[in-house]
Amino acid sequence: MTIRYDDQVAIVTGAGNGLGRSHALALAERGAKVVVNDLGGARDGTGGSSAAAQEVVELIESNGGEAIANGANVTNMDEVEAMVAQAMDKWGRVDILINNAGILRDKSFAKVALDDFKLVVDVHLMGSVNCTKAVWAIMQQQTYGRIVMTTSSSGMYGNFGQTNYGAAKMGLIGFMNTLVLEGKKYGIHVNALSPTAGTRMLEDIIEDKRMFDLMSVEAVTAGLLTLCDKDAPNRTILCCGAGGYATTHIYETQGIYLPPEQQTPENVRANIEGVNNTDGEQILTAGFEQTNKFVGMALKHFGIEPPKAG
């Protein structure tokens, strides 16, 4: 089966360079009409130019596709809403949103300025919130939508000097998890891409050119394309880099129960082996599932049969 996007409209943020550029070109090549959004700033978010986005549009058009350039700053809701209106005026729908725009302002937490911390969170997290908010009602009305967040191993596992970036990227996972629940009845699927690629975001970090060359943007885009077609999964964190593909899951151990008279920090510490025991651990898909588990354990202790789910 060939993955196609014929008659679909996609918005790709940060699409003037790197991964976003690769995503936009690949979506267009497979039939999508594409809004190529890019503020045109430097890696740290300074400056701006429409040249990069316009070049991508010209490439798409030269290959027989349809695209428009847009320079909205994803942190500015008025500009984001105008971008979505531009897509609706031209094509009448929005099927796919790829939240890819991002900047870096790396410093250890002791040295990072709060303004730099906030700006990185604003671009990555609130920028994705703004763009998603702007298309959400459209996708609800269509009863169809595909949204991809761009997360990072820096958020899921940590990376020195990237508290701002890591906080924003992990925040996107929480954002995704709840959108999955709220979008399900409208046919809206929300997933996350965790990429590693040889882009300007990593050019100062990876000095070995052989490694850099292996980490092609096209390898990551191959994964991205599986998260936003008609048969896309839902709530998947897909990790891609250098031709490797994996998924990340958040597991919770079964844990233990302590009766009221034993609920002390000393007893929690004394039973930490049981708390950490991975036998029977589960992937939970909603916050109330954790509550139900713990309350069920307590009810059983008092001889009360927990209510059946559903």
Return the pLDDT at 147: 99
| Measured distance CA(173)–CA(19) in Å, rounded | 19
* Same domain as 101, residue 44: yes
Residue positions annotated with a catalytic role: 165
Q: In what order do the strands lie in the sheet with 237-241?
A: 67-70, 33-37, 9-12, 96-99, 145-150, 188-195, 237-241, 244-247
In a domain, 279, yes or no: yes
Q: Spell 203-237 as b/e; 16+ CB within 10 A means b.
A: eeeeeeeeebebbbbebbbbbbbbbbbeebebbbb
* Same domain as 207, residue 90: yes
* Same domain as 241, residue 187: yes
In a domain, 309, yes or no: no
- Out of 216, 247, 278, pick the residue that ends a domain: 247
| Measured distance CA(45)–CA(127) in Å, rounded | 13
* Same domain as 186, residue 278: no
DSSP letters spanning 116-134: HHHHHHIIIIIHHHHHHHH
CATH code for position 293: 1.10.287
* Same domain as 270, residue 183: no
In a domain, 308, yes or no: no
In a domain, 306, yes or no: no
Residues of the chain with pLDDT under 70: 41-49, 198-212, 309-310
Return the pLDDT at 306: 86
Return the pLDDT at 45: 52
* Same domain as 263, residue 242: no
- Find out whether 96 and 140 touch, Cβ atoms under 8 Å: no
* Same domain as 117, residue 65: yes
At which residue do the structure tokens 């943007």 appear?
217
* Same domain as 161, residue 224: yes
Return the pLDDT at 209: 63
**216-268 pLDDT, tens digit each:** 999 999 999 999 999 999 999 999 999 999 999 999 999 999 999 999 999 99
* Same domain as 287, residue 212: no
In a domain, 3, yes or no: no
* Same domain as 241, residue 255: no
CATH code for position 95: 3.40.50.720
Number of structural domains the chain divides into: 2
* Same domain as 68, residue 32: yes
Return the pLDDT at 200: 53
In a domain, 257, yes or no: yes
* Same domain as 219, residue 201: yes
- Out of 228, 247, 266, pick the residue that ends a domain: 247
Return the pLDDT at 12: 98
In a domain, 2, yes or no: no
| Measured distance CA(202)–CA(212) in Å, rounded | 9
273-278 long-range Cβ contacts below 8 angstroms, 24+ apart: 277/253, 278/251, 278/253
Range of the domain at 191: 9-247
275-284 long-range Cβ contacts below 8 angstroms, 24+ apart: 277/253, 278/251, 278/253, 279/254, 280/253, 280/254, 281/251, 281/252, 281/253, 281/254, 282/251, 282/252, 282/254, 283/249, 283/250, 283/251, 283/252, 284/250, 284/252
The neighbour count for residue 35, using CB atoms within 10 Å, is 29
Return the pLDDT at 41: 59
Comparing C-alpha atoms, which of 204, 238, 220, 211 is closest to residue 19? 220
At which residue do the structure tokens 């984001």 appear?
80
User: How many Cα atoms are found within 13 Å in the side-chain-facing hemisphere of 266?
Assistant: 2
In a domain, 4, yes or no: no
User: How many Cα atoms are found within 13 Å in the side-chain-facing hemisphere of 285?
Assistant: 7
Return the pLDDT at 46: 60
Report yes or no on whether pTM surpasses 0.85. yes
Q: What 3-state class would DSSP assign to 48?
A: coil
